[in-house]
Every structure is written in structure tokens, then in C-alpha cells.
Amino acid sequence: MTVTCAMVGNLVMEFAPQELVADWDNVGLQVGDPGARVTRVLLALDVDDRVVDEALHVGAEMILAHHPLIMKPLRSIRADTPQGGLLMRLIRERLNVFAAHTNLDAAWGGVSDVLARLLGLENVERLSAEQAYGRAGDLQRPVRFADFVAQVKDALGVVGIRAGGDKKREIKRVAVCGGAGAEFWPQARAAGADVFVTGDIKYHFARDMLAAGLNFIDAGHYATERVILEPLRDYLEKRCREGGMSVEFLVSRCHQEPFDYLTG
């Protein structure tokens, strides 16, 4: 069976449905030909020149990214701008780019569910009934905040982490939201969380959480979202096997945390 770019995209949207896409978001095929033949797909959080190099090196015809390459309408595509140059290169190399963003954040089994599982949470549920982002669950047994911070570092493989709150607090109930989820701290508190794990926490959100008595852990945008890539690969491989579709899915090895943590 000949597998096309559109067919792979349909499998992605089966996992992370269109109705979960935020109204400001831009998901789906961003660059390429829906009818292009696909035998190998490279998964990454973002598309940049290093990821394009890797895709070409491994023979991938398609890049499946979490973050959209095109978010806002373009006024021009110029080779002398970073985005324009990258788009021109993708078209020149006939590389297809598909993005699954907020739908992958919100989907059952998506970013926050994987994050919750890695942190050992049980009885996992949506952070609130009103919106699909974030999850809340319980640890098997209470742990000291400092010990839980260490567990998060180990689970996500990060060398640096930001955290705040009562250092002596026992942590039992945990709220998580992969990526930049600090705005959902009121829902985390309302869900009874002792701590909120997310990324990209801004100063004033941190202040608000401290004032509200909610401990927080900023494990970084990259680390809290990268966790979805392997499970998504496994899902797509399984669906392709079931459908008699011969496609190989690879997780990018060159994509990495953009920040360095300096200790002196």
C-alpha cells in the first residue's frame, strides 16, 4: 500500500482530534504535498535546520512537529529571514511538515497524560471540566517537596529546575501541564493540588502561586513536552501495522533543550 502524507496526518488527528485545537492555533500540513509518498517520518518538538539535516540524513519524507512552523499569516517568504529561509529549504528539499500542537496537549494520552504517568500519578483526571489542558492525580504515598523535586528531575532527565513554595510541605496531589501552562494554576489549586508542575512560569504567576499557598515546579517547556514523542511514535507504528501501512517513525536525536544551565 502506498502511504501518503495525508494518510499519516489523518492518523495523527485520530489520536489528537481537530476539535481539541485552540482557535488561535495552526495545526495540520504546513508545508508539502498531501499526496506525497511517505515511507519514513521524523518526530520532533520543533522544525529547525538541524532537524531538517537529520530528516534528510535518515531519508525521511515528512517531519511531524509539535510546535507549528507557521503560526501567523505570512506577509512574505524571504531567504534572508530565519523562517523564510527554512520554508524555502523545506520546499526545495521536498520535505513535508505536519504540526500537532494544542490538540496533542489536550488529547487523552497526550502530553500531560504522559507527563503524569512519568511522575507516577494515579487516579489521573482533567485539571478541570471546563478545559482539556492539564491533569491532576495522586502520588502513591506522600513525599517531601524537596524529594519530589528530585523525582521530577530524574523522571524528565533535566539538570536544572526552578521550584517555589513551602519546602517542608508533603506532596500527595499533583497537577501537571506540559509546556507553558502556568496560567492554569487556579485550576490546579481548585483541583486540590499540593504542587503544580509545568514550564515557562512567569514571575507574576510564581508570585500568585506563592500567595495562594500552591507549590510549583518549572521543569521547562522542552522537558515537559518532549515526553510525548516516543508514545506518539509507538501509537503511529501500531496503527500503521494494523492498517497494513509500511511507514517507519523515528524520534529526532538532534533536537534538544535550547537553554544551558550555568552553575558558575
The model scores a pTM over 0.85:
yes
What are 210-262's pLDDT values in tens digits?
A: 999 999 999 999 999 999 999 999 999 999 999 999 999 999 999 888 998 88
What cell numbers appear for 214 in the block? Answer: 500552591
pLDDT value, residue 42 = 99
Question: Strand (E) positions, 127-229?
Answer: 135-144, 162-164, 170-180, 195-199, 215-218
Q: Which CATH superfamily is domain 111-225 in?
A: NIF3 (NGG1p interacting factor 3)-like (3.40.1390.30)
pLDDT band with cut points at 50, 70 and 90 for residue 109? very high
30-43 average pLDDT score: 98
Cα separation, 158 vs 55, whole angstroms: 25
Residues 50, 53, 55, 58, Cα dihedral to 10°: -120
2-21 average pLDDT score: 98
What are 54-94's pLDDT values in tens digits?
A: 999 999 999 999 999 999 999 999 999 999 999 999 999 99
Nearest by Cα to 145 from 193, 194, 79: 194
Bridge partners, 24 (sequence order): none
What are 119-160's pLDDT values in tens digits?
A: 999 999 999 988 899 999 999 999 999 999 999 999 999 989
Query: What does the domain layout of the chain look like in residue ranges?
Result: 5-104+228-251, 111-225
Provide the pairing of β-strand 248-251 with 170-180.
unpaired
- Region of 139 please: left (phi>0), alpha (psi -120 to 50) or beta: beta
pLDDT value, residue 1 = 83
Nearest by Cα to 126 from 66, 194, 177: 177
User: Are 217 and 163 contacting, i.e. CB atoms less than 8 angstroms apart?
Assistant: yes
Has residue 264 got a pLDDT over 90?
no
User: Are 247 and 240 contacting, i.e. CB atoms less than 8 angstroms apart?
Assistant: yes
Same CATH topology for 5-104+228-251 and 111-225: the answer is: yes
pLDDT value, residue 211 = 98
Cα separation, 237 vs 53, whole angstroms: 23
State the fold for domain 5-104+228-251. Answer: 3.40.1390
100-107 average pLDDT score: 98
Q: Average pLDDT over the chain, rounded to whole?
A: 97
pLDDT band with cut points at 50, 70 and 90 for residue 25? very high
Which letter does DSSP use for residue 235 in this model? H
